[in-house]
Amino acid sequence: MTSALFPTYARADLAFERGEGAWLFAANGDRYLDFGGGVAVNSLGHAHPRLVATLRAAIEKPWHVSNLFQIPQAERLARRLVDATFADRVFFSNSGAEAVECAIKTARKFHAANGAPERFRLITFEGAFHGRTLATLAAGGNQKYIDGFGPKVDGFDQAPFGDLDAVEALIGPNTAGVLLEPIQGEGGVRAFPHGFLRAVRELCDRHGLLLVLDEVQTGVGRTGSFLAIEQSGVSPDIAALAKGLGGGFPIGACLATEEAAKGMTLGAHGSTFGGNPLATSVGAAVLDVVLAPGFLERVARLGSVLRQSLAQIEDQHPSIIESIRGEGLMFGIKTRVANTEFAAAALKEKLLTIPAGDNVVRLLPPLIIDEQEIAEAARRLGDACARLRANGAAQ
Ligand SMILES: *Cc1c(COP(=O)(O)O)cnc(C)c1O
Same domain, 212 and 241: yes
Q: What spacing in Å lies between the alpha carbon of 84 and ligand 1's midpoint? A: 21
Same domain, 74 and 117: yes
Going residue by residue through the chain, which has 395 residues, state the pLDDT in tens, using 9 for 90 and above. Answer: 689 999 999 999 999 999 999 999 999 999 999 999 999 999 999 999 999 999 999 999 999 999 999 999 999 999 999 999 999 999 999 999 999 999 999 999 999 999 999 999 999 999 999 999 999 999 999 999 999 999 999 999 999 999 999 999 999 999 999 999 999 999 999 999 999 999 999 999 999 999 999 999 999 999 999 999 999 999 999 999 999 999 999 999 999 999 999 999 999 999 999 999 999 999 999 999 999 999 999 999 999 999 999 999 999 999 999 999 999 999 999 999 999 999 999 999 999 999 999 999 999 999 999 999 999 999 999 999 999 999 875 44
What's 286's domain CATH number? 3.40.640.10
Ligand 1 pocket: which residues have CB below 6 Å?
95-97, 100, 129-131, 181, 185-186, 214, 216-217, 242-243
Residue numbers of the domain that contains 140: 50-290
Same domain, 356 and 280: no
Which active-site residues does the annotation give? 129, 214, 243
Same domain, 267 and 345: no
Same domain, 303 and 249: no
Q: Output the pLDDT for position 392.
A: 78
Same domain, 86 and 205: yes
Q: Which of 249, 268, 290 is the last residue of a domain?
A: 290
Same domain, 85 and 179: yes
Same domain, 351 and 224: no
Q: Is residue 373 part of a domain?
A: no
Three-state secondary structure string covering the chain: CCCCCCCCCCCCCCCEEEEEECEEEECCCCEEEECCHHHHCCCCCECCHHHHHHHHHHHCCCCCCCCCCCCHHHHHHHHHHHHHCCCCEEEEECCHHHHHHHHHHHHHHHHHHCCCCCCCEEEEECCCCCCCCHHHHHHHCCHHHHCCCCCCCCCEEEECCCCHHHHHHHCCCCEEEEEECCEECCCCCEECCCCHHHHHHHHHHHHCCEEEEECCCCCCCCCCCCCHHHHHCCCCCEEEECHHHHCCCCCEEEEECCCHHHHCCCCCCCCCCCCCHHHHHHHHHHHHHHCCCCHHHHHHHHHHHHHHHHHHHHHHCCCCEEEEEEECCEEEEEECCCHHHHHHHHHHCCEECEEECCCEEEECCCCCCCHHHHHHHHHHHHHHHHHHHHCCCCC
Same domain, 227 and 323: no
Same domain, 165 and 308: no
Q: Is residue 382 part of a domain?
A: no
Same domain, 334 and 273: no
Q: What spacing in Å lies between the alpha carbon of 131 and ligand 1's midpoint? A: 5
Ligand 1 atom closest to residue 39's alpha carbon, by position in its atom list: 1
Q: Output the pLDDT for position 395.
A: 46
What's 341's domain CATH number? 3.90.1150.10
Q: Which of 238, 268, 290 is the last residue of a domain?
A: 290
Overall domain count for the chain? 2
